Amino acid sequence: MNLTRQLVLTVLLVGLTACSSLYYKGLEQVGIPKREVMVYRVEKARDTQQETKQQFKTALERFTALTQFNGGDLQASYDKLNGEYQASEKMATEVHKRIGDIEDVSEALFSEWEAELLQYSNVAMRRNSQQKLAATRIQYKQLIAAMKQAEAKIQPVLTVFRDQVLYLKHNLNAQAIASLKGQLGSVQSDVSTLIAAMEKSIDEADTFIQNMEKP
């Protein structure tokens, strides 16, 4: 997608997200069909998942560093961990929104595509379009399932981070650090599972985008 079309999508996305039908109509009036909107939103969701994957890696590094705390400013170390937790929570919200955006446009696209099948007079063309619609739906289901599976892995990690941050907030001492150490293995495992799910989802997004951009 060229830069001009990306700018149009971005500007209209900010102004018309309150009403999807107006948003899609506005884009179509400037020559951007729902198909391109869907590709754009999948790209944004993929990029958000990339950022989320990196954010949770960073949060794990901060968590690990705190378990190895051996003198210094414990309050400052807590503040850094809390900052990473807040950033991770923000990314989780963004992932959820991006998935919802894809679901919204997919419903509009598939409904339009089905309606247009009835307009064909050429049987062969209608059959070909119907086959492409069926294939796209299958790919979409795989994509959205992978994205939701990855999203589901986020909450267990956030829950542990939240518990530890809350506990540390009122217990900045050696006993609290020992408690963190006891959770480290579980957190590492959960983050690894999350990252693997994110990478699978990102791969699905790349495949979907490539297929949608084929003529």
Domain ranges of the chain: 1-32, 35-213
Count CA within 13 A, CB hemisphere, residue 15. 12
d(CA 52, CA 149): 14
d(CA 179, CA 174): 9
Range 35-213 classified under CATH 2.60.120: no
Please provide residue 172's backbone torsions phi and psi, each rounded to the nearest 5 degrees.
-80, 80
Token pair listed for 105 = 């446009």
Token pair listed for 174 = 């050696």
d(CA 131, CA 140): 14
Burial-class residue 173 by CB neighbours within 10 Å (0-12, 13-18, 19+).
Answer: exposed
d(CA 117, CA 121): 9
d(CA 154, CA 14): 27
Q: Is residue 154 a contact partner of residue 52, using CB atoms and an 8 Å limit?
A: yes
First to last CA, the chain: 14
In the block, residue with structure tokens 């059959």: 127
Per-residue pLDDT of the chain (215 residues; tens, 9 = 90+): 555 556 555 655 544 444 577 788 888 888 889 999 999 999 999 999 999 999 999 999 999 988 888 777 888 888 999 999 999 999 999 999 999 999 999 999 999 999 999 999 999 999 999 999 999 999 999 999 999 999 999 999 999 899 889 888 888 887 888 888 888 898 999 999 999 999 999 999 999 999 998 76
